[in-house]
Structure 1
Amino acid sequence: MMQPIHRSHPFRVLSGSEALPAELAHPVVAIGNFDGVHRGHRAVIGTALEQARSLGRAALAVTFEPHPRSFFRPDEPVFRLTPAPMKLARLAETGLDGAVVLGFDAALAAKDAEAFVADILIGRLGVAMVVAGYDFHFGKGRGGSPIFLREAGRRHGFPVEIVPPLLDEGAQISSSAIRAALEQGRVEQAADMLGAPWAVEAEVIHGDKRGRELGYPTLNMRLDPAITLAHGIYAVTVEIDGTVHKGVASFGRRPTFDDGAPRLETFVFDYAGDLYGRVLRVAFHAYLRPELKFDSIEALITQMDEDSARARAALG
């Protein structure tokens, strides 16, 4: 993951209704959903940062919460690569001066593209320049295309730069491509597109203590049901009190035992400590094998020994 970049003042997070403080007035804005803050998003953000430096302005991200798809299709949960807190943390790592989070509600959904430009970009933010990706659409019915945005900027007196797609071996880097990779267990490919291993944050909860009986005490976490990561065994790292620890994790339904709701169970190598109730970050580095059902506890333990060895090797 990128290291924070030094700035003269802290990264600011503002709601869409808050007035910009003086140090952020007339910013260059990078606008988008930015789920994952992947390498394609970082190309947009990097362009905004370059333009802000040349103009002597602050650089801000303008983003939306909840994800617009969650508003329009509430019965179809969105697999978020980065829920809001993680997204803002990743945006802060890029060197931006702050982020404006627009609440995506019925009022914003009903605002047409021209009104969005007039009310938000000009009226609320007073933009000096707007940078967006090639596929960014906004306004009622997605009526605001990149071409529309560029033309609106010309009419209203602010420049617009549209950043072309970032390609990885000929394929476009996108949030949907990363989700598809994770759904197939291709976490290394997802990490390449993200620019860092994909990670989740969740609270450590009490489980059935079965892992302890098997010699593999695990951290149990329930993830957002919308997460459709491939079930299986992974080499992972876990951040505990600022230190990164290596481990092996199972994500799935535990077919040998109960076939229950999907759960993440992580065995942290060479660590002992009570972490119940803590919110921890688990990063996925390598997919080792699919989830299997074993005929005996002995066979399961033998496989867990092998999984741990393979995870240690994968993590170096």
Structure 2
Amino acid sequence: MKKVFRGLPSPEERLDCAVAIGNFDGVHRGHQALLHEVVEAAHARLLCPAVLTFEPHPREFFNPEDAPRRISSLHDKVEAIEACGIQRVYILRFNEHLASLSPCDFVKEILVDGLHARWVTVGENFRFGDKRAGDIKLLEQLGKEFHFEVHPMPMLYHTHAPISSSRIRHALAEGDIPTANYMLGRPYMISGRVLHGKQLGRTLGFPTINQRILPPHSKAKPAIEGVYAVKAHGIGPRPIEGVACVGRRPTVDDHGEYLLETHLFNFHGDLYDQDVKVEFFSKIRDEKKFGSLEELRAAIADDQLKAKQILGLRI
């Protein structure tokens, strides 16, 4: 039975586990290979396959203004991790206490006492503990002391460079969806619950479904921004084509939060509080601030035509 823990499990809930440690933003092909190793090792040793990850991203904690852009929401990350066969996902709040643990204390307090780790896998560049003082060599030494195996996982490569969350962020920033999709091993999607919006799209003649893509009050930024041709999943028996904007709506709000706003073609209905997945196909343009709502309306109409052409729909 799959289970997600916000923090360490209680003593009665602890199970001897094989665990992968990391941030896993995007859960790309390299992450998936690591997770499949965990599942195989767990089954061979009669352990529970588990993941230990962190929220927020450690770099977001130390330097929020220069944090890496998020490829996936926490919800989407957990869903992708579980799809690899992981039974337990432990989400640790990355805070001052966790950041200040020495490598030895991290291993003893978190891995040994907290998780009952018996088999541990990490990426080949893994660092841990206060000031990133711990490396794989130290982890292997501590594994011998505390009786758990350590298996570093080599990186996977694409076009002579490692597949990484950083490369995927770069591809998304460039609007290169095909490259991002290849490294992810699946189509790039964002999911979320449909919110009650300000009805501006309806006023402009282009009603939208609005979804929050980052935690409330987060200083993080999404890996993708701009206007895209998309398809929405989870509404009916087949995906529904549309045009979407990821951004902060600068024309109508100078200090808005990041939202995903999607206008669906040939759809009329109420989707409030439903979970919808939006799949991105091709970038149309960057988000921009228009001088008037009339200019915004004209731009959206043009975006709609371009999205229909990209998606092969009749205009």
Normalising by the smaller structure, the TM-score range is 0.7 to 0.9
- Counterpart mapping for 1:91-110 below 5 A: 91-110=81-100
Code of the residue aligned with 2:270 in structure 1: it is: D
The aligned counterpart of 2:281 is 285
State the aligned residue count. 302
Asked if the contact 2:28–2:185 (Cα under 8 Å) also holds between the matched residues in 1, the reply is yes
CA distance in 1: counterparts of 2:24 and 2:276, whole angstroms: 23
TM-aligned CA deviation for residue 313 of structure 1: 2.2
The aligned counterpart of 1:71 is 61
- Counterpart mapping for 1:102-251 below 5 A: 102-200=92-190, 201=192, 203-210=194-201, 213-214=204-205, 216-221=206-211, 223-224=213-214, 226-240=221-235, 244-251=239-246
| 1:264 correspondence with 2:254 | no
Q: 1:125 to 1:204 in 2, by over 3 A?
A: closer
CA distance in 1: counterparts of 2:304 and 2:239, whole angstroms: 22
Q: Which moved more, 1:62-71 or 1:240-249?
A: 240-249
Q: 1:307 to 1:205 in 2, by over 3 A?
A: farther
- Once the two structures are superposed, residues 231-285 of structure 1 have per-residue CA deviations (whole angstroms, 9 ceiling, x without a partner) of 2333333432686322222345678x65855653322133210224545332212
Asked if the contact 2:8–2:115 (Cα under 8 Å) also holds between the matched residues in 1, the reply is no
Code of the residue aligned with 2:267 in structure 1: it is: Y
Q: Which moved more, 1:98-107 or 1:149-158?
A: 149-158
CA distance in 2: counterparts of 1:142 and 1:223, whole angstroms: 29
Where structure 1 has 5 or more consecutive residues not aligned to the other structure, the ranges are: 1-9
CA distance in 1: counterparts of 2:156 and 2:58, whole angstroms: 23
Q: SS of the residue aligned with 1:29?
A: strand
Q: SS of the residue aligned with 1:128?
A: strand
The aligned counterpart of 1:32 is 22
CA distance in 2: counterparts of 1:231 and 1:44, whole angstroms: 32
Code of the residue aligned with 2:310 in structure 1: it is: A
Where structure 2 has 5 or more consecutive residues not aligned to the other structure, the ranges are: 215-219
Asked if the contact 1:234–1:289 (Cα under 8 Å) also holds between the matched residues in 2, the reply is no
Q: SS of the residue aligned with 1:79?
A: coil
Q: SS of the residue aligned with 1:267?
A: strand
| 1:14 correspondence with 2:5 | yes
CA distance in 2: counterparts of 1:74 and 1:263, whole angstroms: 19
TM-aligned CA deviation for residue 227 of structure 1: 1.6
Q: 1:151 to 1:274 in 2, by over 3 A?
A: same
CA distance in 2: counterparts of 1:138 and 1:236, whole angstroms: 40
Asked if the contact 1:16–1:100 (Cα under 8 Å) also holds between the matched residues in 2, the reply is yes
TM-aligned CA deviation for residue 304 of structure 1: 3.9
Q: TM-score, normalised by structure 2?
A: 0.82
The aligned counterpart of 2:308 is 309
Q: TM-score, normalised by structure 1?
A: 0.82
Asked if the contact 1:236–1:286 (Cα under 8 Å) also holds between the matched residues in 2, the reply is no
The aligned counterpart of 1:7 is none
Q: Using the aligned pairs only, state the percent identity.
A: 31
- Once the two structures are superposed, residues 125-152 of structure 1 have per-residue CA deviations (whole angstroms, 9 ceiling, x without a partner) of 2222111111221111111112221222
Q: SS of the residue aligned with 1:237?
A: strand
Code of the residue aligned with 2:128 in structure 1: it is: F
TM-aligned CA deviation for residue 65 of structure 1: 1.8
Code of the residue aligned with 1:274 in structure 2: it is: D
The aligned counterpart of 1:274 is 270
CA RMSD of aligned residues (A): 3.0
